[in-house]
Amino acid sequence: MRKLKVLDLFAGGGGFSTGFLQSKEDDLRFEIHRALEINDSACDTLRNHIGKERVIQGDITDKTVKSEVINSCKDVDVIIGGPPCQTFSLAGPARSGSKEMREKLKDDPRNTLYKHFFELVSSIKPSYVVFENVEGMLSKKAEDRNQLNAKQSQVIELVCDELECIGYTTRIEASLTERFQVVNAADFGVSQHRRRIIIIANRLGVDNPRLVSNVRKHRDVKKAIGKLPIRLPKITTNRLEILKNIDVILRNYEYCLEVFSRNLRELAERYFEGNENLLILSETVEADVQRIKQIKSDKINHLKEFLERYNSLVLDLGINDKDSSDKLTSHQSRDHNFRDIIIFILTKEGSNSSKFMNPLSDDYDKFLDKLYPYARNKHKDTYVKHSWNKPSNTILAHMEKDGLKFIHPDQPRTFTPYEAQLLQSFPKDYAFYGGRNAQYRQIGNAVPPLLGKVIGEAILKLEMM
């Protein structure tokens, strides 16, 4: 069996590498010769999956690191990678941050990391190069220093120009002008809408393969995570009395308690099989609600006691331990406050806060409109509840912050790292190292392995020609 050697730059948690390792064409395969990554947790993840001797940990801008990469990768056949480009993203500070933040991002050194990517390509000269980046790169402009008038050009065009200057063909088959492709991972079997720029380039002087969808129907969220065991969040009670808009909760005390109790009863019915203690939890909470909902005084402390009792019950009954295994260690919910729990429950499946605050929307909810705690003069889609029967929205590294754009379709919480992993099409037994936030970051930054597999197979077919 012949193998093409791969160098994975900005390797992260290994999504691109995993996809290439899954690719095959007759007796031709890939092997990950080296992977370069700077982050500690991501390097631990890579070492576990491809071997510690194949991982180079360091900064691509460091001359010593560059030399190590060049000296150890002189005979690699393929270089793959997606240089981080902070201001290219269509989500996050580049779009919605303050003016000061946007100005600061203009000078962010991460925006020029692609230049170091091409410096290594130029030195190593592999047969193939794959460049992946966010769709927002299409709107990024840069000074074209080859023009006397310093004309503003698309960065993506300059990337293609750079590849061609160092001997690569970027032209795509069946086109005279196209040099890059914008693809949606959902079109390749990933349970997630994720639009990305892909450039495939080669030194063979032939046209590059066009990536064509290989699915007739998009894979939905339910197919990816619908069979996982239920996970209930711990509800934080610290500083509950100063939680933003807690006064709205207290003015609607009985209603909120009933909403919470009813949701638990519905979950107990839906997830009863294999987790009978859910019914005990639901019945106990319902009895507690009936006992305290009529209390008119000192509501905040009674609410605290109620939530702490709920937390203890979830723990004592082992609700979140059912069907637990080594591969499900990352399938645990982050903590949430009671206000957000109520918002999660009352937001309709497949809807968001922009809709429930809009009186003209069918999803408008007067109570949620009052309960919404964030500024309304920026973006209003802070809360997004996913739908079982559609692919998820783009899984983002921002999940390490709060995850509010990734609310589970029927459980009152945001996605666990394991759910994010499956929505990204990582194998079920793939292990991410580091704490929960580090895992979210690796998963959110990754190239979905199924998309990487399609790209890898396209290159193998080109090699077989």
Instruction: Give burial (CB, 10 Å; 0-12/13-18/19+) of 425.
Output: buried
Torsion sign (Cα): 295, 301, 302, 307: positive
188, two tokens = 């390749």
132, two tokens = 């992946």
Identify the residue whose tokens are 């004309």.
151
Contacts of 287 (CB under 8 A, 6+ apart): none
Instruction: Give burial (CB, 10 Å; 0-12/13-18/19+) of 106.
Output: exposed
The phi, psi pair for 358, rounded to 5°, reads -100, 110
CB 340 within 8 A of CB 234: no
Spatial separation of the C-alpha atoms in residues 396 and 427, rounded to whole Å? 18
The phi, psi pair for 169, rounded to 5°, reads -90, 125
- Rounded alpha-carbon distances, angstroms, from residue 246 to 188, 243, 251, 414: 44, 5, 9, 20
Closest Cα partner for 385 from 418, 424, 363, 352?
Answer: 352
B/e letters for 3-34, b = 16+ CB within 10 Å, e = fewer, are ebbbbbbbbbbbbbbbbbbbbebeebbbebbb
Spatial separation of the C-alpha atoms in residues 297 and 307, rounded to whole Å? 17
Beta-bridged to residue 37, according to DSSP, are 57
Question: Beta-strand (E) ranges in 232-290?
Answer: 235-236
Provide the annotated active-site residues: 85
Within 10 Å of residue 298's Cβ, how many Cβ atoms? 10
- DSSP secondary structure of 399-439: GGTT-TT-B-SSSSSBPPHHHHHHHTT--TT----S-HHHH
59-68: list long-range contacts, CB under 8 Å, 24+ apart: 60/9, 60/10, 60/36, 60/113, 60/116, 60/117, 60/120, 61/109, 61/113, 61/116, 65/36, 66/116, 66/119, 66/120, 66/123
